[in-house]
Amino acid sequence: MYFAGKEWQKKATGKMIMMIVVAAVLFVLTLDPQTVLQPLGQKLFEMIGAK
């Protein structure tokens, strides 16, 4: 039981770190005017109410 808990915690932490990295990369890409994703980023910011 203890080992199963430890293993799950490691995996959950790994997934969380991966999600943060992916989110950060997407965030940078949507802010960069040179990328195709920039209009998408603008739309996202409008949707969440940020300017």
Q: Determine if residue 49 is left, alpha or beta; phi over 0 gives left, psi from -120 to 50 gives alpha, anything else beta.
A: left
- Whole-number pLDDT of residue 33: 65
Q: Check residue 50 and give its pLDDT.
A: 59
1-51: pLDDT as tens digits: 787 777 777 787 878 888 888 888 877 776 766 766 667 777 777 777 755
29, two tokens = 């890409």
State the Cα–Cα distance between residues 10 and 18, nearest whole angstrom: 12
Q: How far apart, in whole angstroms, are the C-alpha atoms of residue 37 and residue 44?
A: 11
Number of C-beta neighbours around residue 11 at 10 A? 10
pLDDT at residue 23, as a whole number: 83
